[in-house]
C-alpha cells in the first residue's frame, strides 16, 4: 500500500507537516486504502517517502492514535484500528444484540456446547447441584478478526437445546425463546487481567497480553440464576459506558489524619494600652 505522496505536503503552509501527514493517512483509511487491522508503513518508510524527520512521523502517528484511527503496538508497528463497540451498562441487552444494535455484523463460531459438571463456584451461583449443567463456548469476530470469546454455563434444562439451535441463537435467545426463561435483570462485573493460554490463542493475542473480562450473571424475575458467563474481549475494541445522574454527594469537611494533635493557634497579641495623659495642674 502506497503511503502519502510527498507532493501532497506543503512545507510553506500554516498547517504543520505532521498534521498534513495525519490528515492524509486518515483520508486513506476512510477510503479503505488501508484495511482494518492492516499495518501502516514503518517510520523509516514514511520518513523516506515523505522526506520528513522521525519526530514528524511520530507526531503524525500520535495524532492518529488520539483520534482512535490506529493502534500502535510496541515492536510490531502501527495498525488500522478495528471497530469499537460501546456497551451501555444501564441497558439489559445481550452481547450479540449490543453488536448488532450498533450496526456491526459479527461472525460467530460455536466451539463447545454440551453437558459438563460445573465448577463449585458456578454450581453455587446456579443455586443447586448441577451435575449436568450445559457449558457453551463461542468466538466472536468483526471484520474477519476475532475480538471476543465467551465461556458460559446454563442450567441443566438447556440439555433440550440442540447444537444447531445453539449455533443460531445468542445466549439470551436460548433462554427466552427456546427454554421460556426470560432474563429480568443481570449483575455485571468488569475486570482486566492477563489473557490465559486459550484466550491468547483464540483472540490472536501475545502471551500474557491484557484482556478485558465481563462477568455476567443473568437472573429470572424471582432471582434464580439463569446463566453465568465470562466474556473475554480484546481491550482496544470495546468500551463500557454508564450514565450516572445526580445529585452529587459531597463531603462537608476534610478530616485531619495526622497523628499529632493540632496545636492551637497562639492568642492574638493585645494592643498596647495607651497611657492616659495627666491633667495639667496649672
pLDDT, tens digit, 9 for 90 and up, residues 113-168: 999 888 888 888 887 666 678 999 999 998 788 989 999 999 989 999 999 999 99
Q: Is the pTM of this model over 0.85?
A: no
Question: Region 218-247: what's the mean pLDDT?
Answer: 84
Q: How far is CA 124 from CA 101, 120, 127, 265, in A?
A: 33, 6, 5, 60
Grid coordinates belonging to 41? 508503513
Quote the CA–CA distance of 260 and 258 in Å, as a whole number: 6
Question: pLDDT tens digits, residue range 48-85?
Answer: 888 899 999 999 999 988 887 888 877 778 888 777 77
In the chain the domains, ranked by start, together with CATH numbers, are 6-80 (1.10.10.10), 85-241 (3.40.1410.10)
Amino acid at each position: 500500500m502506497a503511503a502519502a505522496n510527498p507532493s501532497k505536503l506543503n512545507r510553506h503552509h500554516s498547517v504543520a507537516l505532521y498534521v498534513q501527514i495525519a490528515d492524509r493517512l486518515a483520508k486513506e483509511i476512510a477510503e479503505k486504502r488501508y484495511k482494518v487491522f492492516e499495518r501502516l508503513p514503518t517510520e523509516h518508510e514514511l520518513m523516506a517517502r515523505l522526506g520528513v524527520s522521525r519526530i514528524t512521523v511520530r507526531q503524525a502517528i500520535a495524532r492518529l492514535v488520539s483520534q482512535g484511527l490506529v493502534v500502535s503496538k510496541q515492536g510490531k508497528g502501527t495498525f488500522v484500528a478495528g471497530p469499537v463497540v460501546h456497551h451501555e451498562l444501564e441497558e439489559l441487552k445481550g452481547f450479540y444484540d449490543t453488536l448488532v444494535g450498533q450496526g456491526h455484523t459479527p461472525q460467530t463460531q460455536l466451539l463447545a456446547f454440551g453437558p459438563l459438571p460445573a465448577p463449585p463456584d458456578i454450581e453455587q451461583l446456579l443455586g443447586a447441584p448441577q451435575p449436568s449443567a450445559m457449558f457453551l463456548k463461542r468466538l466472536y469476530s468483526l471484520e474477519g478478526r476475532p475480538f471476543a470469546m465467551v465461556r458460559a454455563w446454563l442450567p441443566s434444562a438447556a440439555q433440550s437445546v440442540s447444537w444447531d439451535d445453539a449455533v443460531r441463537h445468542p445466549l439470551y435467545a436460548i433462554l427466552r425463546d427456546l427454554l421460556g426463561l426470560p432474563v429480568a435483570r443481570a449483575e455485571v462485573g468488569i475486570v482486566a487481567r492477563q489473557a490465559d493460554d486459550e484466550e491468547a490463542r483464540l483472540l490472536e493475542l501475545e502471551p500474557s497480553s491484557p484482556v478485558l473480562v465481563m462477568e455476567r450473571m443473568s437472573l429470572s424475575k424471582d432471582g434464580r440464576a439463569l446463566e453465568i458467563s465470562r466474556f473475554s474481549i480484546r481491550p482496544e475494541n470495546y468500551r463500557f459506558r454508564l450514565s450516572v445522574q445526580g445529585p452529587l454527594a459531597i463531603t462537608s469537611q476534610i478530616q485531619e489524619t495526622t497523628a499529632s494533635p493540632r496545636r492551637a493557634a497562639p492568642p492574638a497579641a493585645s494592643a498596647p494600652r495607651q497611657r492616659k495623659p495627666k491633667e495639667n495642674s496649672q
